Chains A and B, each alone.
Chain A
């Protein structure tokens, strides 16, 4: 590492202060459609937002993906030293005591916490994975197509492209059509087989099934496939249902991406409902997701990081001792971003750029805001008819593979 001790030492002379923030919102058109059991026709439009958190040290923290409601929490951290991020997390969490660290408030807390960690690492002039205690800036990746809306040919092409990067595991969207799902699982396996003779296979039904529907469906698949994990086979809070699935199928059960703090994940861990926990920065920020990962670690459970723009959350995953592999979707969401990581031999390789290593191209952002693109559909996915009760298969014209 370069000699940065001089500059950081000078900063110590006084407190660094959070001085202001700015949120930029924009709309992106991705390179392709993404879809799951709830919206198999898919979407290609993605709302983007970037939080810029400013300090009096000329260092700005960046947080991707959520930007609303910051004004409700900014007063709690204004003027504070961003390096005190864990304490500031507690302060925000305490501030939200009555209404709870939930919903929009939780999303704002998450965004602020991420920007604070970015600042803390930048002030130390090091990548965040180092600030968090990681020994190596690399994270094993798995491919995830969000692929219910892809034709069989597109499906193969996606996983083959990933396999060419050395990625040897994949997660398929399933849930509406057993025969088609099995055919497509085989396509994914074939595409990945150049990276490994035994690719890791996972499926994700995004809470479309009831627990018993899940057991029946998965057991059928397991007659032909060895599945690493099945994701969200029951509702996010249903620890009895998730545990039932885990006990009745061979695969591990993963869940957690739609829960937003440790308190919500607690029943899943305490009741041994899941085997793998999906973590991401929307779970009350870096601080909150690390709490979840640590509690999981105490219980011998693994965690897996959600996909992210420019794979930015790999910075956090690299420092978690119980992290297995991180989801890579790569649908093209980096229109106005510059980043320094890449995928090599199946791993996300992080650079030594400070913080999250993400920069924003102001001109491109401005251009996106001035000339918003148009395209099909838009996040978020609503829940599909029949979910948890009966299966509504894709209708004619809804997906290209039917």
Chain B
């Protein structure tokens, strides 16, 4: 089996809840990537950014004519190519979406769902409803989490805070009440979007912790601020989660300085191959792993092969667009990857 070419189709995404904090969902435009092969099947990936030229370039220079099964080596070649670039925009997202498409091809060749090709034994993954729109009012927050609990059984919720500490407390109360329809007590996590200076972050989280049991905090401060993250972790009960936007090599200081209590992995940034590498390294430190939201919720496939997997982020349980659909469904609080060959993404 050989890669023969690629088709990139941009689209304006029409997500019901527009993201304010998740880089991946923020661009407003996305693209569907179809990697064609000489075996008549295509590998599909969806990227939350439009960089058709970079994708074309990588396919022409690295992937064309290659066997998609050599995916670990191909990923490394693409990363090495990026590392040698001395000008132009970084192409992390382009590499990541091509890696997703390659894994899709590899699984389709075997006629297996991706989760089984990866070596997993069950298609389901513990999921967390994530509300990233900080502009919604309290009634809208309640309504959204009630729907997540009632319709999808989600027992964990994460919400974007960090604007007004008093309002944050009210929003947390709304979230807990809404999710209590599914389970009591629900798991609560927050994303502060790096809004506050370190001392204010500690003060405000401690205030929240007077009333709420927080499982983890994302965006506590800048991902590169190892000392700040460690200081925050030492001062609060909740786990400090780190990783959004980081490349594989950029996790190293957090491992070495124990500045992360939870490792956050985004397949839109590091691909599936990079995600597996980071997850095994995190397992070495016994650090729990979360997976950042992915279009079509295809990150559900990965959970079963990550020994310290904790939770995956769901922005939209019915993640799809006019152009593509996904087999992954959310039921009883689990993301279930399904049995269709590949990652379950299909182009309409």
A positions within 8 Å CB-CB of B? 1, 5, 8-9, 11-12, 80-81, 83-91, 93, 120, 123-124, 126, 130-136, 262-263, 265-266, 269-270, 287, 290-292, 294-295, 297-300, 319-321
Contact = CB atoms under 8 A, between A and B. Distances in A.
A133 B71 contact: yes
B116 A90 contact: no
B72 A294 contact: no
Contacts of B256: 270, 299
B73 A80 contact: no
A262 B286 CA distance: 10
Contact of B121 (A80, A124, A290): A80
Contact of B284 (A91, A134, A266): A266
Contacts of B248: 298
Interface string B276-303: 1110110111000000000000000000
Nearest to B273: A133
B251 interface: yes
Contacts of A90: 307
B101 to A, nearest CB: 15
Report whether over half of chain A's contact residues are helix, strand or loop; otherwise say mixed: helix
Contacts of A83: 112, 116-117, 119
A313 to B, nearest CB: 16
Given A12-B112, A298-B252, A319 B119 contact: no
Given A133-B72, A297-B277, A5 B111 contact: yes
B122 interface: yes
Contacts of B109: 5, 8, 124
Most buried by B among A91, A134, A292: A134
A300 B283 contact: no
B235 to A, nearest CB: 24
A319 B273 CA distance: 12
A262 B284 contact: yes
Nearest to A93: B307
Interface stretch (B62-70, B149-157, B200-208): B62-70
Contacts of A81: 116, 121
B284 A295 contact: yes
A88 B116 CA distance: 11
B110 A88 contact: no
Given A8-B110, A321-B73, 5 more contacts: A8-B111, A80-B121, A133-B72, A135-B72, A265-B284
A86 B304 contact: yes
Nearest to B305: A86
Contact of A134 (B73, B118, B252): B73
B72 A321 contact: yes
Contact of B277 (A84, A265, A269, A294): A294
A18 B76 CA distance: 34
B275 to A, nearest CB: 11
Contacts of A88: 121
Contacts of B277: 294, 297-298
A130 B102 CA distance: 13
Contact of A270 (B74, B77, B111, B285): B285
Contact of A294 (B76, B116, B122, B281): B281
Given A87-B122, A291-B284, A319 B305 contact: no
Contact of B120 (A86, A131, A134, A320): A86
Most buried by A among B285, B307, B341: B307
23 contacts: A8-B110, A12-B110, A83-B112, A84-B116, A84-B120, A86-B119, A86-B304, A87-B120, A120-B119, A132-B72, A134-B70, A134-B72, A136-B70, A263-B284, A270-B285, A290-B280, A291-B284, A298-B252, A298-B277, A298-B278, A300-B252, A319-B73, A321-B72
Contact of A87 (B117, B119, B283): B119
A346 B109 CA distance: 33
Most buried by A among B110, B276, B285: B110
Nearest to A137: B70
Given A87-B120, A131-B69, A136-B73, A299 B252 contact: yes
A318 to B, nearest CB: 9
Most buried by A among B116, B276, B304: B116
Interface string B246-287: 001101100110000000000000000100111011011100
B340 to A, nearest CB: 11
B177 interface: no
A287 B120 CA distance: 12
A272 to B, nearest CB: 8
B175 to A, nearest CB: 32
B199 to A, nearest CB: 30
A358 B73 CA distance: 24
Contacts of B112: 12, 83
Contacts of B116: 81, 83-84
Nearest to B248: A298
